[in-house]
């Protein structure tokens, strides 16, 4: 011990030997022995080379014991429950909304419609999504009115009392038909094609002309929901000082605060968003949904308001994975080298943009696959339809295009009599390969991953 540390003795905190983690924890309700869960912290959490350790999660014990508090586990004095009435019609003009019967119900504290929302639009790229539709319905899962009541049951019953008169409009459901000039417009007067992307490298026509074989296929994928265990949920509390606190299952609180400030015309300093522990996101909770409506219901009633989506709303009223129609034309040599690839992607964008622009970009850039191809033309279009909006979902378009480029790769291998592993090793990126956008790639280990998986699988070559 040197001089400096001796000087420090008197300043030392009296915590020479802190209690262990196990001693600090609250005991569970039942005797610990009765839980089939390992309660001791593995040593990995104590290691001082922290990176690379198989460290257990600090929230794991609470999850295992069912003690994690999700939004539906939270409640506040006087809290109300909100439900949203859904349109149930894919495309229509709203002629009349009558909420008087619902408002007259005992236990109903407030009803909200789209016209009451200060700025009734949001979205990460384009602000094309209303919080509650006020004039036009863009898809069947749209919310037309929200109710706050003392119980969830009363709120549900109140939805039945809300009368909405619609004038049905033609619905656009097929993305390819929606691209035609004469198609009805989802967001008139704008074109249904709301974003495009092109990646051009080399000369694809020349590359195809020089190829020994041309493979041409159309692949398509379906609309998929994230199906997180925990649905979208939030509690809004507008306090007497005009400051808004929202507990929400949102994965992007910085963006959410900006969107809520915009829709409610509030300065950001008056908004606090607390991201609770989320029971699954997978891209489905990357933007606001019901939060501005809950905030306004809280403002109207002076009480905290909770909203939790049903499983049905999770499907029909939140974002989903883009269905993509994928046309692939690929030219290869007799030896299996890909010389050129021409790709056209049509993404079904649903009723609103959401994260479609990002999905479009990633799908377009990734579509040629992890292969050295000198001549690439990749074009992508995302199209409005009167269906549930598509947005961010684990992979942003990559699982769809991977299905296409890897299916075609196996067809090429089979036709040319090359083992599927071999043809991939022949074409795969190396360290320093240029990507389709001309980016020089670094830390490229695609071939290592191919060999490692093949070793583990006991892949025997056959052609």
Partner 1 sequence: MKRRGRGIACMWYPIGFTVSANPSAATVKMNEDGTATVLTGTVETGQGSLTVLGQIAAEALGIATDDVHVVSADTDTTPMDTGAIASRTTYVTGNAIFLAAEAAKAILFEAAAPMLDVKVSQLEAKDRKIQVKNYPQRNVSIGEVALRAQAVLGTPAIGSASWNPPTVALDPETGQGKPFATYVYATQIAEVDVDDETGEVEVLRIAAAHDCGTAINPMLVEGQVEGGISMGVGMALQEEMLFDANGRHINPNLTNYIMPTSLDMPEITVDIVQGFDPTGPFGAKGVGEPTAVPTSAAILNAIHDAVGVRVYSLPATSEKVLTAIKAKRAAEQKQIPA
Site for partner 1 in 353-392 (CB under 8 A): 357-358, 361-362, 364-366, 369-370, 378, 386-388, 392
Q: Please choose, out of 143-151, 247-255, 291-299, 329-337, the segment that lies near partner 1 by the rule CB under 8 A.
A: 247-255
Shortest distance, position 361 Cβ to partner 1, whole Å? 6
3 state DSSP class of 242: coil
Tell me the per-residue interface mask from 420 to 449 with partner 1, x by CB under 8 A, - otherwise.
xx--x---xx-----xxxxx-xxxxxx-xx
- Which pair of tokens denotes residue 156? 């549900």
Let me know: does 364 contact 381? Beta carbons within 8 Å. Answer: no
Name the CA radius of gyration of the chain, rounded. 28
- Taking residue 443's Cβ as centre, other Cβ atoms within 10 Å add up to 5
152, 294, 394 from 318: Cα distances, Å: 20, 16, 15
Among 37, 38, 58, 153, binds partner 1 (CB under 8 A): 58
Among 277, 334, 415, 430, binds partner 1 (CB under 8 A): 277
In the chain, what is the straight-line distance between the N-terminal and C-terminal CA atoms, in Å?
Answer: 70
Report the candidate in 456, 439, 322, 460 with the shortest Cα–Cα distance to residue 383. 322
Give whichever of 110 and 278 is closer to partner 1, judged by the CB atom. Answer: 278
Q: Where are the alpha helices (DSSP H) in 242-343?
A: 253-264, 291-301, 311-316
- 80-86 vs 305-308, strand pairing mode: parallel
Let me know: does 109 contact 67? Beta carbons within 8 Å. Answer: no
Shortest distance, position 104 Cβ to partner 1, whole Å? 30
Give whichever of 108 and 436 is closer to partner 1, judged by the CB atom. Answer: 436
Give whichever of 81 and 405 is closer to partner 1, judged by the CB atom. Answer: 405
- 92-98 vs 233-238, strand pairing mode: unpaired
Shortest distance, position 333 Cβ to partner 1, whole Å? 20
Considering the rule CB under 8 A, would residue 215 count as an interface residue with partner 1?
Answer: no
Among 85, 161, 197, 303, binds partner 1 (CB under 8 A): 197
Per-state percent for the chain, helix, strand, coil, to nearest 5: 30, 25, 45
> Which residues 323-352 are close enough to bind partner 1 by CB under 8 A?
none
Considering the rule CB under 8 A, would residue 250 count as an interface residue with partner 1?
Answer: yes
Considering the rule CB under 8 A, would residue 37 count as an interface residue with partner 1?
Answer: no
CA distance 441 to 406: 21
Cis peptide before 189 (omega within 30 of 0): yes
Considering the rule CB under 8 A, would residue 253 count as an interface residue with partner 1?
Answer: yes
Among 21, 98, 205, 430, binds partner 1 (CB under 8 A): 21
- Taking residue 111's Cβ as centre, other Cβ atoms within 10 Å add up to 25
Considering the rule CB under 8 A, would residue 193 count as an interface residue with partner 1?
Answer: no
Q: How many residues at the interface with partner 1, by CB under 8 A?
A: 133
- Taking residue 56's Cβ as centre, other Cβ atoms within 10 Å add up to 14
| Residues in a beta bridge with 381 | 196, 346
Considering the rule CB under 8 A, would residue 99 count as an interface residue with partner 1?
Answer: no
What is the longest distance spanned by two Cα atoms in the chain? 86
Among 22, 37, 44, 188, binds partner 1 (CB under 8 A): 44
Considering the rule CB under 8 A, would residue 398 count as an interface residue with partner 1?
Answer: yes
CA distance 437 to 16: 58
Considering the rule CB under 8 A, would residue 412 count as an interface residue with partner 1?
Answer: no
Shortest distance, position 303 Cβ to partner 1, whole Å? 21
Among 61, 71, 80, 91, binds partner 1 (CB under 8 A): 91
Among 113, 120, 320, 375, binds partner 1 (CB under 8 A): 320
Considering the rule CB under 8 A, would residue 186 count as an interface residue with partner 1?
Answer: no
Considering the rule CB under 8 A, would residue 452 count as an interface residue with partner 1?
Answer: yes
- Taking residue 226's Cβ as centre, other Cβ atoms within 10 Å add up to 20
Among 282, 301, 372, 416, binds partner 1 (CB under 8 A): 282
Tell me the per-residue interface mask from 136 to 175 with partner 1, x by CB under 8 A, - otherwise.
---xxx-----------------------------x-x--
Among 32, 93, 180, 311, binds partner 1 (CB under 8 A): 311
Task: Specify the DSSP class assigned to residue 232.
Answer: P
Among 35, 39, 41, 206, binds partner 1 (CB under 8 A): 41
CA distance 21 to 419: 54
Considering the rule CB under 8 A, would residue 64 count as an interface residue with partner 1?
Answer: no
């Amino acid at each position: 011990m040197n001089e400096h540390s001796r000087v420090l003795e008197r300043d030392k905190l009296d915590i020479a030997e802190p209690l262990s983690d196990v001693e600090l924890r609250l005991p569970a309700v039942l005797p610990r022995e009765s839980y089939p869960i390992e309660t001791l912290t593995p040593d990995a959490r104590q290691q001082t080379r922290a990176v690379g350790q198989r460290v257990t999660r600090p929230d794991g014990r609470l999850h295992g014991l069912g003690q994690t508090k999700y939004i539906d586990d939270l409640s506040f004095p006087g809290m109300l429950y909100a439900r949203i009435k859904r349109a149930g019609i894919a495309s229509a003009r709203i002629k009349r909304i009558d909420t008087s019967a619902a408002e007259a119900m005992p236990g109903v504290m407030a009803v909200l419609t789209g016209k009451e929302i200060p700025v009734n639009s949001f979205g990460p790229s384009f602000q094309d999504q209303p919080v509650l539709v006020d004039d036009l319905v863009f898809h069947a899962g749209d919310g037309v009115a929200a109710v706050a009541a003392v119980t969830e049951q009363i709120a549900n019953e109140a939805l039945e009392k809300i009368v909405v008169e619609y004038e049905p409009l033609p619905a656009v459901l097929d993305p390819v038909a929606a691209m035609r000039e004469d198609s009805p417009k989802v967001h008139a007067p704008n074109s249904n094609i709301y974003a495009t992307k092109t990646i051009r490298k080399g000369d694809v026509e020349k590359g195809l002309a020089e190829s020994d074989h041309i493979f041409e296929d159309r692949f398509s994928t379906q609309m998929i929901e994230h199906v997180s265990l925990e649905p979208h949920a939030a509690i809004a509390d507008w306090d007497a000082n005009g400051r808004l606190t929202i507990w929400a299952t949102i994965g992007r609180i910085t963006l959410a605060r900006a969107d809520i400030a915009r829709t409610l015309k509030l300065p950001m300093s008056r908004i606090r968003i607390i991201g609770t522990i989320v029971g699954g996101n997978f891209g489905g909770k990357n933007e606001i949904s019901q939060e501005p409506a809950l905030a306004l219901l809280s403002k109207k009633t002076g009480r905290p308001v909770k909203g939790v989506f049903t499983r049905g709303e999770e499907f029909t009223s939140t974002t989903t994975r883009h269905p993509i129609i994928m046309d692939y034309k690929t030219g290869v040599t007799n030896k299996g080298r890909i010389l050129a690839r021409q790709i056209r992607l049509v993404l079904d964008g649903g009723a609103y943009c959401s994260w479609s622009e990002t999905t479009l970009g990633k799908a377009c850039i990734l579509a040629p696959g992890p292969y050295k191809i000198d001549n690439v033309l990749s074009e992508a279009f995302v199209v409005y339809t009167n269906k549930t909006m598509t947005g961010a979902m684990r992979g942003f378009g990559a699982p769809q295009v991977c299905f296409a480029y890897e299916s075609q790769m196996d067809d090429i291998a089979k036709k040319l009599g090359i083992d599927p592993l071999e043809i991939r090793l022949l074409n795969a990126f190396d360290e320093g390969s240029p990507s389709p956008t001309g980016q020089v790639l670094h830390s490229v280990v695609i071939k290592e991953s191919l060999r490692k998986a093949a070793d583990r699988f006991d892949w025997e070559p056959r052609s």
